[in-house]
């Protein structure tokens, strides 16, 4: 069975809000809308001689235009899943019949902060949203990604970032 390794980031930004108690921050998470219909985080394949951190910075820039990522130390989580490999030369009938190989995928995720609000979406996606945690969890498609997003939010809040 083929295997793939990727790296990505749960990206957040802070907006200051004036309250009666003083200045506070509201946290927004970045979700990308993939052409297949799901909402998830920026991620991509680790290239030869590239570290996971280098991959997530490169992929984030390619997919969003963000180039000011600050990786927050202490958070490194994994998602594992299987997917069907679809290549250009596979017929639609073979795809529907499940005659394409399964691929095992391991994605390493980090938490990263940006100050960038404006996104330049890549050809790989059809949209994006910056959402507060509750809305981001609802919008995120996959159960394992929802769990990861919750863990990232708890990590950010715990460390007072």
pLDDT confidence bin for 161, thresholds 50/70/90? low
The pLDDT of residue 18 is: 77
pLDDT confidence bin for 2, thresholds 50/70/90? confident
pTM, two decimal places: 0.86
The pLDDT of residue 20 is: 77
Quote the Cα angle for 78-84-85, to 5°. Answer: 100
The pLDDT of residue 45 is: 93
pLDDT confidence bin for 16, thresholds 50/70/90? confident
User: How much of the chain, in percent, has pLDDT values that exceed 90?
Assistant: 71
Q: Report whether pLDDT(110) > 80.
A: yes
Chain centroid offset of residue 23 CA: 29
pLDDT, tens only, 43-96: 999 999 999 999 999 999 999 999 999 999 999 999 988 877 766 566 667 666
Beta carbons within 10 angstroms of residue 23's beta carbon? 8
Q: What is the C-alpha to C-alpha distance for residues 117 and 127, in angstroms, rounded to an integer?
A: 14
Q: Where do the domains of the chain lie, and which CATH numbers do they carry?
A: 3-158 (3.90.79.10)
The pLDDT of residue 88 is: 59
The pLDDT of residue 100 is: 74
Residue 103: HSE in the Cβ half-sphere, 13 Å Cα cutoff: 14
Averaged confidence pLDDT in the chain? 90
The pLDDT of residue 24 is: 84
Q: Report whether pLDDT(130) > 60.
A: yes
Contact criterion met (CB below 8 Å) for 102 and 83: yes
Round the CA-based radius of gyration of the chain to a whole number and report it.
17
Beta carbons within 10 angstroms of residue 141's beta carbon? 14
User: How much of the chain, in percent, has pLDDT values that exceed 70?
Assistant: 89
């Amino acid at each position: 069975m083929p295997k793939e390794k990727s790296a990505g980031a749960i990206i957040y930004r802070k907006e200051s809000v004036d309250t009666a108690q003083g200045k506070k921050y509201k946290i927004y998470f970045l979700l990308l809308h993939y052409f297949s219909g799901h909402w998830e985080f920026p991620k991509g394949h680790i290239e030869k001689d590239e570290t996971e951190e280098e991959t997530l910075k490169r992929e984030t820039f390619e997919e969003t235009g963000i180039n000011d990522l600050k990786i927050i130390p202490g958070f490194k989580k994994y998602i594992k899943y299987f997917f069907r490999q679809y290549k250009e030369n596979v017929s639609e009938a073979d795809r529907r019949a499940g005659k394409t190989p399964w691929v095992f995928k391991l994605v390493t995720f980090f938490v990263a902060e940006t100050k960038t609000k404006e996104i330049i979406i890549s050809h790989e996606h059809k949209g994006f949203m910056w959402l507060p945690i509750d809305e981001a969890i609802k919008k995120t498609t996959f159960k394992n990604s929802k769990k990861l997003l919750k863990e990232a939010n708890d990590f950010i809040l715990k460390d007072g970032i």
